[in-house]
Structure 1
């Protein structure tokens, strides 16, 4: 799914417009992604929309979030630190942090790197239309230029 997120970022992000699922599906198939990958990605975006509609604006959260043992297996200290940095600096809310964590845990990889966290967070913010936070995170993404390789 990460490859699809990179494709969506590279092809649609700068326009500031998120395409309809039908348009996105057509473009993803044309780019050579298989049906299973495309459906997973579209389901992920739909799930984000549902979460956004349910939660509305979140208030600052004063609770402490600890990772479960199975989360600790995939989420390194640097990834967790980065997520906390984003939350503490009001780039993402506590609810958005949970969406990022949920998305990271659903990836079929053993360990998550910070660049994937940045990409997933960027996609969540973009999908929710939070442009100022998105611009800051985009700057962080390009700091490592992992998408250009």
Structure 2
């Protein structure tokens, strides 16, 4: 499934430029992907679209310095600076230390706000693998950014696309 997702990411610059599922299915089949992989990836992408619609991005607070008297529903979903995400046992087993560490890294770097983190985690838990590989989680993060039309910072994009195994420590 992840090879199909990478192909879609590389060939369609933005989620809005991606063809309808039927046309995309034909294109992926013509390229040579397995029908089962295509069906799995298209289902995963459809669920990503649903998750993206259900999780609105929080709005920025007013610049006056005064608290808004009535927060919008998206502001209510925003995580407080003092809150902490506790991962369930199932999430810990499925994602593992490397993936959870990477999510924490992206959050601390300011690249993954809480509402995006929840979409990433939901989509990672929906992935068919028994335990998530870090490379697969990076594809999921890229696809979430892609679907929502968010262009990550160049350094974050480098982290997401680079294979850390080949890096040489200085």
TM-score bracket relative to the smaller structure = 0.7 to 0.9
In structure 2, what is the equivalent of residue 7 of structure 1? 7
Q: Quote the offset at 1:42 in angstroms.
A: 1.7
Query: For residues 111 and 13 of structure 1, what CA distance do their matches in structure 2 show?
Result: 29
In structure 1, what is the equivalent of residue 28 of structure 2? 28
SS of corresponding position for 2:18: coil
Query: Does 2:79 correspond to 1:61?
Result: yes
More helix by share: 1
Query: Does 2:107 correspond to 1:87?
Result: yes
Q: What CA deviation, in whole Å up to 9, does each residue of 1:86-115 have, x standing for no partner?
A: 123231222221222222222232322222
Q: Quote the offset at 1:136 in angstroms.
A: 4.3
Structure having the higher Rg: 2
**Contact kept in structure 1, 2:48 and 2:123, CA below 8 Å:** no
Q: What CA deviation, in whole Å up to 9, does each residue of 1:50-102 have, x standing for no partner?
A: 22222221354133212211221122222111101212323122222122222
Change (3 A) 1:128 1:29: same
Aligned length: 144
Q: Quote the offset at 1:36 in angstroms.
A: 3.2
**Contact kept in structure 2, 1:71 and 1:105, CA below 8 Å:** yes
In structure 1, what is the equivalent of residue 124 of structure 2? 104
What TM-score do the two structures reach when normalised by structure 1? 0.79
Query: For residues 117 and 109 of structure 1, what CA distance do their matches in structure 2 show?
Result: 11
Change (3 A) 1:18 1:138: farther
Instruction: Give me the CA root mean square deviation.
Output: 2.5
What TM-score do the two structures reach when normalised by structure 2? 0.71
Question: Unaligned stretches of 5+ in structure 2?
Answer: 59-74, 166-170
Question: Unaligned stretches of 5+ in structure 1?
Answer: none
> Which shifted more, 1-10 or 31-40?
31-40
